[in-house]
Structures are given as C-alpha cells and as structure tokens.
Amino acid sequence: MRLTARISLGGLLFSNWAQNFWGLSPAIPQSQVLGVKASELLRPAESTVETNNVRNVAAMNSNLTEDSALQWAKKDKRKMLHVVYRVGDLDKTIKFYTECFGMKLLRKRDIPEERYSNAFLGYGPEDSHFTVELTYNYGVDKYNIGNGLRHFGIRVDSVEKVVNLVKAKGGKVIKEPALLNGSSKVIAYVEDPDGYKFELSKEATAPEPLHHVMLCVGNLDRSINFYKKAFGMDLLSKQDNPELKYAEVTLGYGAEDMNPVLKLAYNYGISVYDKGDGYAQIAIGTDDVYKTAEAIKLFDGMIAREPGPLPGINTKITVCLDPDGWKSVFVDNVDFLKELE
C-alpha cells in the first residue's frame, strides 16, 4: 500500500480528536506492586521487622553528596523492567495483546486473598526485555486513563498488518498508517479495549519491540534535570516545535535503537495533567535501592516508600515520585531475578 498522507507527531498529539479522549476523575490507590497491595507498599519502613529497620537506617546513612550520587547513578546497573497499569478484563486484554500486537504471555498469577490478578506480557524473557504488567482488581471493569499518559510505543514489522488486526479484533484505530512528517517512518495510533493508546512504528528488526512510555510533564527542563541526575538516565534526543507549542524529549539507559526509553511531552503553558486511575508506574532495576533512594532525595525527588524488603517476599524496593507526581519503583536487581525463578 502506498502511503501519501503525512502527519506531524506534534500535530497528532495536539489535534482535536486526541483531546476528546482525555477525561477527568480522581485517582484510586495503587492495587499492588510485585504482588503487594498499596496498604503494604506505602507503609512506612518502620512497620517492617526491627532487623530490617536497623539495616535500612544503616544503609541510608551513607552520606552521599551530589557528586557521589551522580557517579553512583551512572555506574549503577539500571534498566527499565516493566510498565504497570490496570485493566478491566484481564483475559480480554491478554487475548488482544497476543493476537494483535504479537506479545507473549510470560506469566500470570491470581491473588484471591488480595482480590487482584496480574499478568506479564512482552516480546521476550523478563530478565532481558521490557514488559507489560497488567493488573486486574476484582470487580473493577473500567478506569479513567486521564490526559497525562500519552501512549505506549511498539515497533512492528508491518504497521498496516497490526492495524488490520486491531480492527478485526475489536480495537480502535485513532490514526491510520501514514508517513511521519519529514521522514520515511510509518506510524499509526490505536487503542486497546481499555482505551490505552499505542503508537505503532515500522521497525523490522527491533531488538526491543516494546519501545517506550510517553508521559506529559509541566516543566520540561525540570524533568530533564531530574531524570538525568536522580535516575541516571541519558538525554537521547530533544525536539521543540514552537509553531505547535509542543516539545518532547527521549531519555533512557543506552541507545534508543537497542533499549526501551522514556519519552516526556510538554505542551506550552500546561503545567498540570490528570493522571487518571489506570496507569501505575514504571519499574526500574538497581543494584542498591538504599543508595538509589538517597540519591533521589538529593535531587528533589519524593520517596513514597522508603527502601527495604517487601513483606512476605523480601524483594527490596523503593518507590519515588518525580516532580510531576509520576511514580516509579526501583527494584533490587538480584531480588528481581529471584522473583523470576
């Protein structure tokens, strides 16, 4: 099929059709991270056993300076592990992702005593690929996506083929395949059954097909500074479109063509976004959650859960918020691999 229409990424994000999908509603609590509900995840560190308290305090008293924190963030073996969000029908979403996007179901678990189930999907093993973690909370069949989460990005062999599958399987096509303005890149935008948006781009040999998560922020320079210093990410690209009153950046750990990345979008003059109650967070691997938490504090990040082991499974994590309130979970690398055994 010959593509003659051209679209602009900035124009796509600002067009009227996009605005119609962005509603407002208060967010609900996190359901779980790594199998633990919000009541446990956000409990202060002092609620763990005394031996863990001693370990946590000792670890947090390493007196990192800003210089040593920057050095630590750069040498830490960090990578994006998975993105977490909530869906209204787990089996339906699994079927859609496997049949339309070509993902594989990697694992699935049901926690009836906590009234939730979750599933991990992706394009390869969790220890070497960025994956999706879907959460289903019993009795909740619909979520507000909000207007702060733009989309997830997937690189595929054939954009047209995936679009046709989405149509056949009951999904929604927001933008038909077209050439991205000023390039030979073919992209399309679709929605899954819950209303989450996906950017499809043609990349026949992509080593990491689940390519990016795009979030909106209220101050781009502030966010760049935070993610570079507190998260140790590299600024990979930056685009500014004054005529469209829009800018975006790409950050990550390593080259964009080989690794998943975080994209941040800024709409001129807009400082606050509705995060909805569907999107949860990105999980990132680290060699030391204690040092990571201390470094994040140094660079004005907020720690929502102090570092330490999760009750019951002893996986060490820390939970933080960026300047816009977007949540990330840092997970101990060794403990994460044990989780997969």
- Residues known to be catalytic: 199
214 within 8 A of 264, measured Cβ to Cβ: yes
326 within 8 A of 215, measured Cβ to Cβ: yes
**Rounded CA gap, 33 and 318, in Å?**
11
Residue whose C-alpha is closest to residue 321's, from 299, 340, 341: 299
Decide the pairing of beta strands 104-111 and 149-156.
unpaired
**Rounded CA gap, 274 and 121, in Å?**
26
- DSSP state string for 82-149: EEEEE-S-HHHHHHHHHHHS--EEEEEEEEGGGTEEEEEEESS-TTTS-EEEEEEETT------TTTE
User: CB under 8 Å to 170, separation ≥6 — which residues?
Assistant: 96, 193
**Rounded CA gap, 135 and 138, in Å?**
10
Indicate the residue type of 205.
Answer: T
- Two tokens, residue 132: 């999706």
**Rounded CA gap, 12 and 80, in Å?**
27
87 within 8 A of 135, measured Cβ to Cβ: yes
Question: Alpha carbon of 154 to those of 68, 145, 223: distances in Å?
Answer: 36, 19, 24
Exposure string (b/e) for 184-216, b if CB count within 10 Å is 16 or more?
A: eebbbbbbbbbbbbbbbbbbeebebbbbbbbbb
**Rounded CA gap, 44 and 234, in Å?**
31
